Structure 1
Amino acid sequence: MALPLSLTGKYWQLVDSAPLAGTPAQIAHAIATARGIDLRSNPLPATDLLSDTARAAQRIRSALARNEHIGIFGDYDCDGVTATALLVRFFRRNNVEPFVRLPHRVRDGYGLKRHIIKEMRTQGVTLLITVDAGISSIEEVHEAQESGMDTIITDHHHPHAQIPPAYAIVHPALSPRYPRPHPSGSGVAFALVRALEGTEEWEGHKEDLCLAMLGTVADVMELTGANRTLVTAGLTALKHLPAHAPIAKLCAQAGVDRSRVTARDIAYRIAPRINAAGRLEDPGIALQALLSGESALAHLGVLNAQRQDLTASLLADVLSSLHLSTENSPQNVPPLLAAASVQYPEGIVGLLAGKLTEGYGKPSIVACIRGDACIASLRSVPAYHVTEGLERVEGLLTTYGGHAQAAGCTFPTKNYPELIARLLDDISARVRPQDLVPTLPVDAVLSPQNITRELAQALGHLEPFGEGNPEPLFFLPNVSLSAVRTVGNDSRHLQCSIGTTKAVGFQHGHLRSRLNEPLDLLCRIGLNRWNGRTDVQLFIEDMRHTECSKRNAASEMQNAQRILHS
C-alpha cells in the first residue's frame, strides 16, 4: 500500500512514545525521555578511553623536549580545519610553530598523499600528526615510517580492515571502551589536547572548546552523549569570548548574536563560511581566519556568497538533468540519484548530493568529470550505509572513504555507468522502498491552544539541536490558515496566521494555491523577538490536506484525538 504523503511528498511518522500531555516542562521532558537525551550536565569521557591517546601524548611531549620539527596534516572541511587549529594553538602555547599542510581539494584531493609526505620530509619533519584524516593512508604512512618519520593519526572516519603502521592511532572506532556516539575529527583532536594539557582548563581552553564545537556541528555528528556535552560547553564558551577573538569576529560577520547563539546558527551560518574556503579556493584561508582573523575573515565572507550563488545555479542544472522538480513524488524517483558533469566543481558536489538526498529521501552521488577521472561525493539515508556500499564496489574505485551517510570517492570516468548500476542494485537489494521516502518524525500532536511562549521556552532546554536530536516537530491536525501571503525573492516563502499565532513556511510559497481548505501542519515552535517583544511563532515544515490524512492515516488521527483529549 502506498504511503500517505504530504503536499511536498514526505511521509509523517509519529514517534512511538507516550501521549504528551501536561505542562510545557512536562512535554519537553517527555520528548527528551523518548529520545534518550540526558538533560543533566555530564563530564566529557576520560581521554584514556580513546586508543593510543597516552602513547600519542608521550611522543608529542618527547618531540617538544627534543625540539623536533613537527608537521600537522588536516582536511579541507570545517571539521578538519578546526581540528588543525586546535593543535596549532597547542603548539603555539608551547612556543613551537609546526609545519601545517592542508590539502587543496583540486590539486591534492582528499587524504594524505605521497607527495605530501615528501614535502614533510623536505621540511625536516620528524613527527607527523594527522587530524580528521589518515586512517586509510596505509602506503603513505609506511613511506613516512621508512623515511624515519613517526606518524600519529587522529581520525574518526570509517576504518578499513587494514590500518596504517602508525606510531599511534587515536580513533574512536578502534577504542572499544569509548562511548557512542563517536566524536568528530575536531572532537578527537580536542581529546588529545586535553590529554596533553593534563587538565580540564588551560589558557585559551574556551576558544578551544568553541573550535571543537564548530567541527562537531559542521560534520553533522549525533548530538547526544559526549557530543552533546561538548557542543553545549562550546556554545556556552562562545557566548563569553571577548569580542576580539577570531571566532567572535566570525560570528559578527555572519550576523549571529552570540548571546543567543544556537547549534542551528553554527550549522547554517558559521560552518558554511569556514567550508567555503576549501570548496572554492584554499582551506588555509579558513585556518587563518580562525587563528588570527584579520583580512582572512573578509575573504571568507566573499567566498561564502559565491558558494551560495554557485550552489543554487548548479542545483537547478542537476534537477533538470534528472528531470526532477518540486512536483515529483519521491515514490516515482529511482532509488539512487546520480549526476556527473564537467561543469560541477569538486567543492560543490557534496552540497548538491546533500540537497538531493534531503529533498527526495534517496541516496545520491554527484561527480565532477576531469578527463579520464571522476571525483564524487555521496550522501545517504539512515537505511543505507553508503561507505559500506562503496566497499562492495571497491574494484571500480581508485580511492574512497567516509561515514554511514556521507562519503567521497574517485574512479576512472569509464567506470561511471557500471558503478551507478552496481550501487543501484546494491541499494535495491538492501533497502525497502518505504525506507527511501523522505520521512519527518512527529514528536507530538497539539492543538493551537497548546502553542504558548512557555512551551517554546521549555523546548529550549532540549538544545543543542542537530543530528540525533532535531528540533521537535508538532502535528497540528485540521487547522485553517488566515492572512496567507507569499514573501521573499520570487515569492518563495509563506506568511500566515493560525488563530492569533503568526507562522512562516520557508520554501513553501509554491503551495499558496493549495491552502484554501483545512490542513494538517507539521511545525517547529520558536520565539520571535522584535521591538522589545517576544512572541511565540510557528515554523511550518510541511502540510497536507486534512481529508487526505483522514483517509490514509486513520491511526494517526485517532492518536491525535487521544492525545488532545487526555
Structure 2
Amino acid sequence: MHFKWKYDPPTPEQKKDAEKLIDNLKVSPVIATIMAKRGIKEEDAKKFFHPQLNDLIDPFLMKDMDAAVERLNEAMGRKERIMVYGDYDVDGCTAVALVYKFLQQYYSNIDYYIPDRYDEGYGVSRKGIDFAHETGVGLIIILDCGIKAIKEIEYAKELGIDFIICDHHVPDEEMPQAAAILNPKREDDTYPFKHLCGCGVGFKFMQAFAKSNGISFSRLIPLLDFCAVSIAADIVPVTGENRILAYHGLKQLNQNPNIGLKAIIDICGLNGRTLSMSDIVFKIGPRINASGRMENGRESVNLLVEKDFAVAFDKAKHINEYNEQRKDIDKQMTEEANLIVGRLESQQKHSSIVLYDENWKKGVIGIVASRLTEIYVRPTVVLTRDGELATGSARSVAGFDIYAAIKSCRDLLLNFGGHTYAAGLTLRWDDVKEFRDRFQAYVEEHILPEHTEAALNIDAVIDLKDITKKMHSELKKFGPFGPGNTKPMFATMNVYDFGTSKVVGREQEHIKLELVDSKSNNVMSGIAFGQSAAARYIKSKRSFNIAYTIEDNIFKHNDVQLQIEDIQPTEGQT
C-alpha cells in the first residue's frame, strides 16, 4: 500500500512550549516537541505521564447512577436473584466478568448470562429473558448492550423482571423502560467523559455501588485489568478517564492479572514480557472473542471468572483452539471477499464496500469488514444470511461516521446499533440490494477525499542519532496508546542499507533491516512487515525515507528496534 505522509512542523507557539518543557522537565527536544504539538503543557505533564486513580470522575455524576445503585441495593436487601447479562464480544465478556466477580464477594444469589450469537443474536433476547424468569431472576444488569431493547425489556417487565442498562452505544430518541439507564452518550447526560466502553460503564457502576456501601475503592483495583483489555479491544479513545483506567489496568495486567487472563497470557507466549495495548489488540482480545465467534461467549466468561489456574489454563487452551479455527475461516472469507471486490472494481469504483454471501460465518464477518477497511481504505459492510434475514457488521475509516450512514437506511433495518467507527445491523435478506444502493449513495454524498486516503501522520522528522535510550524511555511514558493518543510516528530521510538487511519470514514477506544515515555512525535495526517488495530497492545502495514507530527489541534487552510502516525512495530517485 502506498501511504501519503502528513507532517505539520511545530508552530512558533508550540516551539516556545517545547522550550519550556526542555528547561523545566528536562525532557529531550524530540519528546518536548511532540508533547507541545499534542497540547500537553508543563502543568498537564505530571497527570499525563502519571495518571492517578484519584482523578477518576465521581460516578454519581452519571445520569441514573443514583437509581441504579438504589435498585441494586434493594435487590440485595430483598435477596432477589440477580443476572449479569452481556454481549458476546471482548467488551461484553470482560464487563460481565468484572461486575459478577465484584458483586459475588458480597452477594451469592447471582449468575451471569451471555447470549448465543447464532441462536439468539445480538443484545437482549427473549430466550435469555425466559431463562431469567424460569430461574427466578428479579433484576438483570445488562452490559455493553440493551440501549435499544425496547420491546424485549417491555416483555421482561410483564414477567416481573427489572433491568439496569450499562451501555455505551448511541441511543435512539426512545429508550427502554428500565429501572436505570447508565450511558454517557445519552443526550440528557452531563457526565464529563463520553467515551467509556461497556466495561468502563460497568466499572463506574461498581465504583458507585462500593461508594454507597462504604466498600474501599481498593477492592476494585484487582479488576482494572478487565478495563484495560476492554478499552484496547473495543478501540475507544485512550484519553481522559479511559487513559487512567487503561494505565492502571495495564499495571495490574503486568503485575498480578486475574487468573483467567494469566492463562491467556501464558497460552499466547507473552509470559515474562511487559504487556502493551498492542498485545491486547492482537493476542489477548482475539482469544477472548474467539469463543463467541465460533461457539458461545459464555466460555470466555467462564475462563475470566475462574479461580483455579490449572482449570483456567485448560479452558484457555480450548479457547485458543477456537481462535485457530477462526483464523482459517477468516483467511478463507477474506480471500473470497477480495475476489468479489476485485470484480466490482473492474466495473465501477465506489466510495464504500458492501458485500454479502449467504454462506459466510456470522461470527467472523466483523473481522473481514475490518480487514477490507484497512486494505481498501473505505467504509465497509459485510453481511451474511440467517434464515430470511441478513445480519452484518460495518467498519469505518478515520473521520467518517458509519453509524450515521447506517441510520440513514433505518426504515430498511430491523435492528442496528454501534458508534462512529463500528456498527452491527439486521435486515430482511430481500432488502440487502436496496440497502447497498442507499448506503453507497449516502457515503458518496458525505465522504471527503481525505477519508479514503491511506495516510501516515508523522509526529516528528528526526535523524537516527536522535534515537537515544533517554528518548526511548521518555517515549514509553506516552503510553498507553490507542485512538486519541496514538503511538508517535517518526520519519527519517536519506537512510541507507548498512549492507546486512535481508528478507525474512515463512513466505519471505518481511524485511529485517540494518540502517545508517549520513549524520552518525549509528547502525539501527528495524523490521518492515509485509514490505518485501521494497527489498530490491533497499539493496541497490540508494537512499530512501522511512516512517516508523520505536519499539523495544524483545530479542536484545535494553535495545530498540524500528517498526517500519512505510518505505519510500528519496525524492528524485526511482
Q: Is 1:9 matched with 2:26?
A: no
* Cα 1:49/1:34, change in 2 over 3 Å: farther
**Could you say which residue in structure 2 is the equivalent of 1:422?**
438
Q: Is 1:512 matched with 2:535?
A: yes
* Cα 1:59/1:16, change in 2 over 3 Å: farther
**Could you say which residue in structure 2 is the equivalent of 1:75?**
87
Q: Is 1:321 matched with 2:340?
A: yes
- Partner deviation per Cα, 1:121-167 (whole Å, 9 max, x = no partner): 22211111111110011111112222222111110011111111111
Q: How many residues align?
A: 537
The CA distance in 2 between the partners of 1:56 and 1:462, in whole Å, is 36
**Could you say which residue in structure 2 is the equivalent of 1:256?**
270
**Could you say which residue in structure 2 is the equivalent of 1:55?**
67
2:559 counterpart SS class: strand
Q: Is 1:539 matched with 2:563?
A: yes
**Could you say which residue in structure 1 is the equivalent of 2:248?**
233
Contact 1:181 1:226 in 2 (8 A): no
The CA distance in 1 between the partners of 2:313 and 2:250, in whole Å, is 23
Structure 1, unpaired ranges of 5+: 1-7, 551-566
* Cα 1:201/1:165, change in 2 over 3 Å: same
Contact 1:88 1:97 in 2 (8 A): no
Contact 2:193 2:240 in 1 (8 A): yes
The range that moved more, 259-268 or 201-210, is 201-210
- After the TM superposition, which residues 371-450 of structure 1 pair with which residues of structure 2 at under 5 Å, given as runs? 371-450=387-466
Contact 1:373 1:410 in 2 (8 A): yes
Q: Is 1:300 matched with 2:315?
A: no
Structure 2, unpaired ranges of 5+: 41-47, 307-311, 517-522
The CA distance in 2 between the partners of 1:49 and 1:439, in whole Å, is 39
- Partner deviation per Cα, 1:148-207 (whole Å, 9 max, x = no partner): 221111100111111111110011112633223521000000011111111684575333
Contact 1:155 1:171 in 2 (8 A): yes
Contact 2:102 2:220 in 1 (8 A): no
The CA distance in 2 between the partners of 1:303 and 1:386, in whole Å, is 30
Contact 2:546 2:566 in 1 (8 A): yes
**Could you say which residue in structure 2 is the equivalent of 1:145?**
157
**Which of 477, 500, 509 is the equivalent residue of 1:492?**
509
**Which of 343, 362, 368 is the equivalent residue of 1:346?**
362
Q: CA deviation at 1:530?
A: 3.1
Q: CA deviation at 1:547?
A: 1.7
Greater relative CO, 1 or 2 (CA 8 Å, sep 6+): 1
Contact 1:223 1:467 in 2 (8 A): yes
The CA distance in 2 between the partners of 1:324 and 1:223, in whole Å, is 39
The CA distance in 1 between the partners of 2:259 and 2:352, in whole Å, is 44
Give, as a single letter, the amino acid of the residue that structure 2 aligns with 1:225.
G
* Cα 1:201/1:269, change in 2 over 3 Å: farther
The CA distance in 2 between the partners of 1:53 and 1:33, in whole Å, is 37
RMSD of Structure 2 on Structure 1 (CA): 2.4
Q: Normalising by structure 2, report the TM-score.
A: 0.88
The CA distance in 2 between the partners of 1:44 and 1:26, in whole Å, is 31
Q: CA deviation at 1:298?
A: 1.5
Q: CA deviation at 1:504?
A: 0.5
Q: CA deviation at 1:357?
A: 1.1
**Could you say which residue in structure 1 is the equivalent of 2:232?**
217
**Which of 521, 546, 551 is the equivalent residue of 1:521?**
546
**Could you say which residue in structure 1 is the equivalent of 2:37?**
34
The CA distance in 1 between the partners of 2:178 and 2:355, in whole Å, is 37
Give, as a single letter, the amino acid of the residue that structure 1 aligns with 2:334.
L
Give, as a single letter, the amino acid of the residue that structure 1 aligns with 2:314.
S
**Could you say which residue in structure 1 is the equivalent of 2:185?**
173
Q: CA deviation at 1:225?
A: 0.8
Contact 2:184 2:194 in 1 (8 A): no
1:119 counterpart SS class: helix
**Could you say which residue in structure 1 is the equivalent of 2:43?**
none
- After the TM superposition, which residues 284-299 of structure 1 pair with which residues of structure 2 at under 5 Å, given as runs? 284-292=298-306, 293-299=312-318
The sequence identity of aligned pairs, in percent, is: 28
* Cα 1:77/1:33, change in 2 over 3 Å: farther
The CA distance in 1 between the partners of 2:359 and 2:174, in whole Å, is 36
